[in-house]
Amino acid sequence: MSEHLFSDICKQILRIDESIRFAGVANKMGSLDATAYRQGLSPLMSRDQTSQYAIQAVLRASTRQDLKQI
Whole-model pTM? 0.82
Report domain extents, the chain.
Answer: 3-68
If you write DSSP's letter for every residue of 1-68 in order, what string do you get?
--HHHHHHHHHHHHHH-TT--EEEEE-TTS-EEEEEE-TTS--SS-HHHHHHHHHHHHHHHHHHHHHH
| Better pLDDT: 33 or 70 | 33
Q: Please provide the average confidence, as pLDDT, over all residues in the chain.
A: 94
Burial of residue 31 (number of CB atoms within 10 Å: 0-12, 13-18, 19+)? exposed
